[in-house]
A and B are shown apart, each in its own frame.
Chain A
Amino acid sequence: MSVNAEQIQKINHFSKLPEDMCGKIADVVELKKCNPKTRLLKEGDTGDTMVLVFQGQVEVSKNMMVKAASGFTMSRKSIIRLETTDPPPATDPITEPTVAVVQAPAFGIGEFSLVLDDAIRTAHVHAMTHVEYGILKLDDFSKIVEENPSIGGPVYFEVAKAAVNNLATASQDISNLTQAFFFALTR
């Protein structure tokens, strides 16, 4: 079983590419399947692969130090769930979502691996349903870009956009945390 160009084009990062280029990417993507609860990415790991989810629902979560009744504990906090719509997940998620579920025809995670060979995974990703996904390696992708430089523009633009958005959110988070910090101090 292999991936076709159409599936690749559904993913936001590659949507601007012509079909023949998507076909080239599809050729190097390794298709995989996994059961619910499987961990696709682990926070803190370095990786040089991007995960392309074609069908299913995944949960993105982060480890956080929180204060519970028994003292400080490390707990895994869900951030968001991502769900494919084309095709929709084959099974129901194993747990009801406690966070927002964002839907897209198909989506890619770990896109920073397309530019960095030792990108650190910033969050965990777990499968919530049966998931059909593909693995795109940095080396393979770089080779395609070398041969077809025109691919680079649109793809790297999407990656840069994601990076800039993340940065904006992060700076807003810092400002929120600073406010909360002063608020707590004056109380």
Chain B
Amino acid sequence: MQPEELTQSPEEETTSFDKLEESIQANKVLYDRLHQSLIDEVVATVEDEDEVQHYKDQQKTVAWDYLKKLKHFYQANDLFRYAVWSLGLMLISTAILTIVEYDLFKGDVISDIGNTFQFGEGDPNWVDTFFHTFWWSVVTFTTVGYGDVSPVTHLGKLLTIIIMLLNFGIVTLLGGAVASVLVAARLKGDDKLDENKFHGHIIIAGWNPAVQSTLRLIEADRDANPVVILINETEAEIVKRAVSGFERLDVTHLSENFTQEAVLKDAFIEECGTFMIMPDYSGLLPNEQPDEDKTVLTSLTAKSISDSIQVVAYILDEEYISHLKRANVNEIVFPDEHIPHMLAKHVTDPGVPQLFDELITQEGQDKGIQVVTIPKGLTGLTHNKISAYYKFKHQWLLVGYAIRKAGFSLEDQMGESGSPLIRNMITEQLDSAGIALSSDEHVIVEINPSDDYVIDDKHKALVLR
């Protein structure tokens, strides 16, 4: 506000300022009533519990996963199976040898070990003897053959012959198993990603100058998932250079054609948090325009894999917007829409475009407009209370709300009208045909609502920090 505009008499000014002061005080009282500490505690405990549970679940699944992998490996790999069985046979033979030639090996233990540690104190017991026999087996197996122990009786020699022949097989097979695993890994290629890592990650399809800046903003927000997969056919070196500066982000580059379903599945698209499609400049000359059909095609492919994938498409040509809407893309980013507005505002409302610039350039430092989760204890309260909470607790200005809304829901639309029989039939039959009864959720914003506007758990706060 310009100082010249305050043309009230000094007296009037004081009274109105008094009123302002009063209302700020009232707001503070309001805020105190929100029991900030209590709310924070509740929120913190809920989060802690969630985390502990999550950690436990994860531990359990990791161990289970390894067991499953081992079982799978055992079933799939002939060599490994053979090796396991041979090892088992070797242990059995050793056990038999221990039993049959017990006295011989026991005598050997006494003469070989002397006064060093043994399990049976003074007199070697069966553990010492078995270990000693096993030692001899391994020495023989590995063709080291120290010769410190050797069979004497005919039976002992016979069993030794069996063990030595088995050894021949095992050593060959174990070597083969190791080699085959290595070869298999090499043949599969190194591109196979570890699926445990990818959950709620970000996939960016297409290479574009905007990718790097987008990643920079994601890097700056500590709450954002740091796992990113880039899919484009730009040279790996160029991509590597572009993403080398990020510390927090874990970027993987898949050099493949992102319109293909198999490629998207390799990037675990069903698990991803956001799938972003950009105009792809891979392999284009500087004056060539990207082919935006690819964006539409990729959206359709992604949505056909799973309707619940959150797809954000960046488009340069207005013509494609209708196609993308038909492909059920969640959000469409079309920058040209904003340009006339920005230009015109320089004439009509100087300062507004500068404000936008300022907001955008500040984003890197945890400033600017951000979406924050509203503490659970505050849901159900009115806008003025939430606003007071952010103002006095964090010194943030609450601008409005981002609300996740289910799109069109057939069930809501039908409500209780008509006969229940027909309604049930419709839902049942559509459901069995795999047609979702509601369109995708999307985000709408409610800016500066009235004071008595009530927020629910679908609301997130848009704050200016």
How far is A179 from B421 in the complex, measured between Cα atoms in Å? 16
Q: Residue among A64, A67, A173 with the most chain B CB within 10 A?
A: A173
The smallest beta-carbon distance between B425 and chain A, in angstroms, is: 7
Q: Which chain A residue has the least Cβ–Cβ distance from B425? A: A64
Q: Known: A177-B426, A183-B410, A187-B436. Is A172-B418 also a contact (CB below 8 A)? A: yes
Contacts of A62 in B (CB 8 A): 421
Q: Which chain A residue has the least Cβ–Cβ distance from B429? A: A67
Q: Residue among A62, A177, A187 with the most chain B CB within 10 A?
A: A187
**Are A79 and B419 in contact, CB atoms less than 8 angstroms apart?**
yes
Q: Report if A184 contacts B (CB, 8 A).
A: yes
Pick from B408, B414, B436: contact of A176, CB under 8 Å = B414
**Are B423 and A176 in contact, CB atoms less than 8 angstroms apart?**
yes
**Are B425 and A77 in contact, CB atoms less than 8 angstroms apart?**
yes
How far is A82 from B419 in the complex, measured between Cα atoms in Å? 16
How far is A88 from B18 in the complex, measured between Cα atoms in Å? 73
Chain A 57-91 interface 0/1 with B at a Cβ cutoff of 8 Å (1 = within): 00000101011000000000101000000000000
Contacts of A94 in B (CB 8 A): none
Pick from B418, B420, B433: contact of A67, CB under 8 Å = B433
Pick from B408, B414, B421: contact of A79, CB under 8 Å = B421
**Are A173 and B418 in contact, CB atoms less than 8 angstroms apart?**
yes
Contacts of B423 in A (CB 8 A): 176
Contacts of B410 in A (CB 8 A): 179-180, 183
Q: Known: A179-B410, A187-B435. Is A169-B429 also a contact (CB below 8 A)? A: no
Q: Report if A175 contacts B (CB, 8 A).
A: yes
List residues of B (403-428) whose CB comes within 8 Å of A's CBs.
Answer: 408, 410, 413-414, 417-423, 425-426, 428
How far is A62 from B419 in the complex, measured between Cα atoms in Å? 12
**Are A66 and B422 in contact, CB atoms less than 8 angstroms apart?**
no
Q: Known: A67-B432, A187-B436. Is A175-B426 also a contact (CB below 8 A)? A: no
Q: Report if B372 contacts A (CB, 8 A).
A: no
Q: Known: A172-B418, A173-B419, A179-B410. Is A66-B425 also a contact (CB below 8 A)? A: yes
**Are B426 and A172 in contact, CB atoms less than 8 angstroms apart?**
no
Q: Report if B430 contacts A (CB, 8 A).
A: yes
Contacts of B426 in A (CB 8 A): 176-177, 180
Q: Residue among A169, A175, A176 with the most chain B CB within 10 A?
A: A176
Categorize the interface residue count of chain B: 20 to 34
How far is A66 from B436 in the complex, measured between Cα atoms in Å? 18
**Are B418 and A169 in contact, CB atoms less than 8 angstroms apart?**
yes
How far is A187 from B436 in the complex, measured between Cα atoms in Å? 8
**Are A77 and B418 in contact, CB atoms less than 8 angstroms apart?**
no
Q: Report if A99 contacts B (CB, 8 A).
A: yes
How far is A172 from B420 in the complex, measured between Cα atoms in Å? 11
Contacts of B417 in A (CB 8 A): 172, 175-176
Q: Residue among B414, B420, B422 with the most chain A CB within 10 A?
A: B422
Q: Which chain A residue has the least Cβ–Cβ distance from B413? A: A179
Q: Which chain B residue has the least Cβ–Cβ distance from A77? A: B421
**Are A169 and B419 in contact, CB atoms less than 8 angstroms apart?**
yes
List residues of A (3-30) whose CB comes within 8 Å of B's CBs.
Answer: none
How far is A175 from B420 in the complex, measured between Cα atoms in Å? 14
List residues of A (143-187) whose CB comes within 8 Å of B's CBs.
Answer: 169, 172-173, 175-177, 179-180, 183-184, 187
Q: Which chain B residue has the least Cβ–Cβ distance from A187? A: B435
How far is A184 from B432 in the complex, measured between Cα atoms in Å? 12
The smallest beta-carbon distance between B444 and chain A, in angstroms, is: 21
Q: Known: A172-B418, A177-B422. Is A183-B429 also a contact (CB below 8 A)? A: no
Contacts of A100 in B (CB 8 A): 420
Pick from A79, A99, A184: contact of B433, CB under 8 Å = A184
Contacts of B435 in A (CB 8 A): 183-184, 187
Contacts of A66 in B (CB 8 A): 425, 428-429
Pick from A64, A172, A175, A180: contact of B430, CB under 8 Å = A180
How far is A183 from B426 in the complex, measured between Cα atoms in Å? 11
The smallest beta-carbon distance between A97 and chain B, in angstroms, is: 13
Contacts of B430 in A (CB 8 A): 180, 183-184
How far is A164 from B432 in the complex, measured between Cα atoms in Å? 33
How far is A173 from B415 in the complex, measured between Cα atoms in Å? 11
List residues of B (383-421) whose CB comes within 8 Å of A's CBs.
Answer: 408, 410, 413-414, 417-421
How far is A100 from B417 in the complex, measured between Cα atoms in Å? 15
The smallest beta-carbon distance between B442 and chain A, in angstroms, is: 16
Contacts of B414 in A (CB 8 A): 176, 179-180
Contacts of A173 in B (CB 8 A): 418-419, 422
How far is A90 from B350 in the complex, measured between Cα atoms in Å? 84
Q: Which chain A residue has the least Cβ–Cβ distance from B419? A: A169
How far is A184 from B425 in the complex, measured between Cα atoms in Å? 14
Q: Residue among B410, B417, B418 with the most chain A CB within 10 A?
A: B418
Contacts of A176 in B (CB 8 A): 414, 417-418, 422-423, 426
Contacts of B432 in A (CB 8 A): 67
Contacts of B436 in A (CB 8 A): 187
The smallest beta-carbon distance between A109 and chain B, in angstroms, is: 16
Q: Residue among A77, A79, A177, A183 with the most chain B CB within 10 A?
A: A183
The smallest beta-carbon distance between B450 and chain A, in angstroms, is: 33
5 further contact pairs, Cβ within 8 A, besides A172-B417, A175-B417, A183-B430: A66-B425, A169-B419, A172-B418, A173-B422, A187-B435
Q: List 14 A-B contacts (CB under 8 A).
A: A62-B421, A67-B432, A77-B425, A99-B420, A172-B417, A175-B417, A176-B418, A176-B423, A177-B422, A179-B410, A179-B414, A183-B435, A184-B430, A184-B433
Q: Which residues does A use to contact B, with CB under 8 Å?
A: 62, 64, 66-67, 77, 79, 99-100, 169, 172-173, 175-177, 179-180, 183-184, 187
Listed from nearest, the 9 A-B pairs whose CB atoms lie closest are: A172-B418, A173-B418, A172-B417, A173-B422, A180-B426, A79-B421, A187-B435, A176-B418, A176-B414
